[in-house]
């Protein structure tokens, strides 16, 4: 199993996670680029790259409308380096709101487990992201087919494609993996297609849609006070003071000086630009908390070190303001941005770009999904928010009608549908492992508490003091002990699932013969034994209807009734051979003599036969209900044709 020192191996797709402002998106892209460089340098000399194949599968644009015959090419990667047995497992890595890379089947904790279990590795890119773009472009009418439901259907078709390509059978157990939005897809794929995927690992998965996600900013504030990861109360106080000073400067008219201090590309010309500035500064803190990655962008410890000047006392708003200015300079330096772009007009223009080349930027597609399915708007209207109250829900949602013509008033109903469809953060599902970090803001929308459904406990792992999708990385020497234990627990769950699946398959392949108790001279034969027990069960039903005769008066009444019924049945059978085969169920009572006491020896014999077949007898209190049950047609034939000369041949011909 691959063990990596330092920071050279970090799972790439964890960065394809849900975000808000453009600075946070740029932080994500910056971290992704750094990770790509480090992963490439490390893996090119160690991993069997020749086993990785890239392909395209033509998927329907709309799986749920057979009249729509349009398709789009969907990219995937396959790594069969570890797949040694034809019945080995398949590990499916699900793409999120961004492109996938070949390293998604070469690096990460799921790859480590694939090597251990000799699994086939496959990764599928999300529709309309990366290279899997709608060929008609990204106009609003073309984005109508962009949804999580369609993405799950893509996975189902891809499952069938891989199964046919590699001649997979039911013996090949599928396990799905994903982080953040793709972690939600992993859980939902297991929930909606349980016959295709046996188990799912959902890391930092926001399975609950939320329109006003104010808890995100609140959790960022709490994480900044977490001393275990380098935070402090002083750090949070400094952040609050800095943003208060920025608001004062904006209201006081010192906008030009503010733009100069923070290195803005232009002076904010209206309220929208001012909100862009506030949002960009808040994104720096959100990115640091969400990823908390030293050496890649900035950890909480490094950020709080700047904001407090490594001191122990709060120095006031103006000093905090100066620390925020310094932090913005560090961001521009690490992101290689010459200036801080705060133009709201440019942001909207980029989001309105519907050309194919814009697909890799992902912002338009993800904004569409937030408007139609998820919300996830990271507002700051709550009093506990450490940033500015200018970041409101109204500001975030106004892009929906502006970009896509989606009414802001329709958003609550759309969010409610998503939660009703998937179950929110209380899904009644089985064999889904939810993994979350203690300082990750997205844990507020995931499953972090035990829940039961029909006795099944929700499988959760909660890792204190870790960030977003941290468990998806391969092992590193610098990992916290809690993170190491969590990865081991994930491995234990996956191993248990594979073992259980193999055992279930073995049991399904066993012969279904029932055990029999026979004398030493009798030869046991499974087929004969099953037939005998089947006939015994049928005889049991017939016998119990006969035990209804318990008095001489009832015997006379049944005899008279039977004489009439039998005469009608014989007459009807002579007119129609088929009718004889489908005579009244009451004819079942005719077979045998209805005399008092004759049923006891037969019942004793049947009780012994039932014990041999291991089938319990029904209590006599329920026999009357059996009398109204339609018997099997072969028993009707035998009753109607018993002791009626000349009917044997006629009955046989009706079956031909």
pLDDT tens column, 12-66: 444 444 445 665 666 566 556 665 666 666 666 555 678 899 999 999 999 999 8
Q: How confident is the model at residue 336 (pLDDT cuts 50, 70, 90)?
A: confident
Digit-coded pLDDT (tens) for 373-414: 999 999 999 889 999 999 999 999 999 999 999 999 999 999
Q: What is the pLDDT of residue 654?
A: 36
Written as one string, the DSSP assignment of 503-562 is HHHHHHTS--PPP----TTSPP-HHHHHHHHHHHHHHHHHHHHHTT--SHHHHHHHHHHH
Digit-coded pLDDT (tens) for 476-485: 888 899 999 9
Q: How many CA atoms lie within 13 A of 502 on its CB side?
A: 10
| Closest of 27, 3, 107, 482 to residue 291, by C-alpha | 27
Digit-coded pLDDT (tens) for 483-514: 999 999 999 999 999 999 999 998 877 554 43
Distance CA 134, CA 115 (A): 34
Among 200-214, 325-339, 500-514, where is mean pLDDT lowest? Answer: 500-514
Residue 95 to residues 74, 75, 165, 198, Cα–Cα distance (Å): 11, 10, 21, 19
Asked about 388 being catalytic, the answer comes back as no
Digit-coded pLDDT (tens) for 161-171: 999 999 999 99
Residue tagged active-site, from 132, 147, 148, 180:
180
Give me 285's structure tokens: 């803190």
Asked about 112 being catalytic, the answer comes back as no
Q: Which residues of 221-259 are buried (b: 16+ CB within 10 A; e: fewer)?
A: bbbbbbeebbbbebbbbbbbbbbebbeeebeeeebeebb
Residue 81 to residues 10, 166, 237, Cα–Cα distance (Å): 20, 14, 52
Residue tagged active-site, from 42, 109, 468, 493:
468
Q: Which CATH architecture describes the domain 13-208+423-507?
A: 3-Layer(aba) Sandwich (3.40)
Distance CA 487, CA 1 (A): 13
Q: What is the pLDDT of residue 28?
A: 60
Give yes or no for a contact between 237 and 447, defined as CB atoms under 8 angstroms apart. no
Q: How confident is the model at residue 449 (pLDDT cuts 50, 70, 90)?
A: confident
pTM: 0.75
Distance CA 321, CA 249 (A): 10
Residue 175 sits at φ, ψ, to 5 deg, of -125, 130
Asked about 180 being catalytic, the answer comes back as yes
Q: What is the pLDDT of residue 202?
A: 98
Q: Where are the domains of the chain?
A: 13-208+423-507, 232-286+294-403, 548-654
Q: What is the pLDDT of residue 296?
A: 62
Residue tagged active-site, from 440, 446, 573, 587:
440
Give yes or no for a contact between 203 and 435, defined as CB atoms under 8 angstroms apart. yes
Digit-coded pLDDT (tens) for 248-264: 999 988 899 999 999 99
Q: Residues with Cβ < 8 Å from 33, sequence gap 6 or more? A: none
Give me 491's structure tokens: 């491995």
Q: What is the pLDDT of residue 555?
A: 56
Distance CA 268, CA 350 (A): 18
| Closest of 493, 435, 494, 431 to residue 463, by C-alpha | 435
Distance CA 277, CA 340 (A): 8
Distance CA 304, CA 292 (A): 12
**Rg, Å, the chain Cα set:** 35
CATH class of 232-286+294-403: mainly alpha
């Amino acid at each position: 199993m691959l063990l990596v020192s330092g920071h050279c191996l970090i799972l790439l797709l964890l960065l394809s996670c849900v975000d808000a402002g453009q600075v946070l998106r740029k932080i994500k892209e910056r971290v992704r680029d750094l990770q790509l460089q480090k992963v490439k340098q490390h893996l090119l000399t160690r991993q069997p790259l020749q086993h990785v194949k890239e392909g395209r599968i033509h998927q329907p644009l709309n799986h749920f409308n057979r009249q729509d015959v349009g398709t789009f090419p969907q990219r995937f990667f396959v790594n069969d380096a570890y797949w040694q047995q034809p019945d080995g497992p398949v590990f499916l890595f699900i793409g999120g709101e961004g492109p996938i890379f070949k390293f998604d089947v070469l690096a990460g904790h799921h790859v480590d487990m694939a090597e251990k279990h000799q699994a086939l590795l496959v990764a599928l890119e999300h529709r309309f992201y990366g290279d899997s773009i709608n060929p008609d472009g990204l106009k609003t009418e073309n984005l109508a087919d962009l949804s999580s439901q369609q993405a799950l259907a893509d996975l189902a078709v891809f499952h069938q494609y891989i199964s046919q390509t590699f001649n997979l059978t039911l013996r090949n157990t599928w396990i799905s993996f994903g982080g953040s939005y793709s972690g939600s897809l992993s859980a939902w794929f297991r929930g909606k297609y349980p016959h295709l995927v046996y188990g799912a690992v959902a890391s930092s998965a926001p399975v609950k849609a939320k329109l006003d996600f104010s808890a995100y900013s609140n959790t960022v504030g709490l994480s900044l006070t977490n001393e275990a990861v380098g935070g402090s109360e002083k750090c949070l106080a400094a952040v609050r003071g800095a943003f208060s000073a920025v608001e004062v400067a904006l209201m006081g008219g010192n906008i030009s000086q503010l733009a100069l201090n923070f290195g803005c590309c232009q002076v904010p010309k209206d309220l929208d630009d001012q909100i862009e500035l506030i949002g960009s500064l808040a994104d720096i803190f959100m990115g640091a908390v969400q990823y908390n990655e030293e050496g890649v962008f900035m950890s909480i410890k490094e950020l709080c070190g700047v904001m407090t000047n490594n001191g122990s006392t709060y120095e006031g708003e103006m000093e905090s303001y100066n620390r925020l200015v310094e932090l913005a300079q560090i961001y521009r330096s690490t992101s290689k941005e010459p200036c801080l772009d705060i133009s709201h007009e440019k942001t909207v223009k980029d989001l309105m770009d519907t050309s194919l080349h814009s697909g890799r930027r992902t912002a338009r597609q993800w904004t569409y999904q937030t408007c139609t399915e998820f919300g996830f708007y990271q507002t700051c209207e709550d009093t506990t928010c450490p940033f500015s109250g200018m970041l409101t829900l109204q500001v975030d949602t106004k892009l929906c009608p502006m970009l896509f013509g989606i009414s802001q008033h329709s958003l609550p109903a759309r969010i409610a549908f998503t939660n009703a469809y998937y179950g929110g953060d209380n899904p009644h599902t089985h064999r889904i492992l939810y993994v979350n970090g203690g300082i990750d803001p997205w844990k507020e929308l995931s499953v972090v508490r035990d829940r039961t459904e029909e006795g099944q406990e929700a499988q959760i792992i909660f890792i204190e003091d870790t960030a977003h999708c941290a468990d998806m990385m391969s092992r590193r020497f610098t990992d916290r002990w809690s993170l190491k234990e969590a990865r081991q627990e994930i491995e234990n769950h996956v191993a248990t699932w594979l073992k259980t699946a193999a055992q279930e398959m073995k049991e399904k392949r066993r012969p279904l013969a029932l055990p029999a108790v026979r004398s030493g001279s009798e030869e046991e034969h499974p087929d004969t034994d099953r037939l005998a027990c089947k006939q015994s069960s049928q005889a049991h039903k017939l016998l119990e209807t006969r035990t209804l005769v318990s008095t001489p008066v009832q015997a006379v009444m049944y005899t008279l009734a039977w004489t009439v019924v039998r005469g009608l049945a014989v007459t009807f059978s002579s007119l129609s051979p088929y009718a004889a085969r489908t005579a009244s169920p009451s004819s079942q009572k005719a077979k045998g003599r209805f005399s008092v006491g004759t049923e006891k020896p037969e019942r004793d014999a049947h009780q012994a036969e039932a014990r041999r077949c291991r089938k319990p007898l029904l209590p006599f209190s329920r026999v009357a209900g059996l009398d109204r049950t339609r018997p099997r047609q072969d028993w009707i034939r035998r009753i109607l044709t018993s002791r009626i000369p000349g009917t044997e041949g006629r009955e046989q011909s009706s079956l031909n």
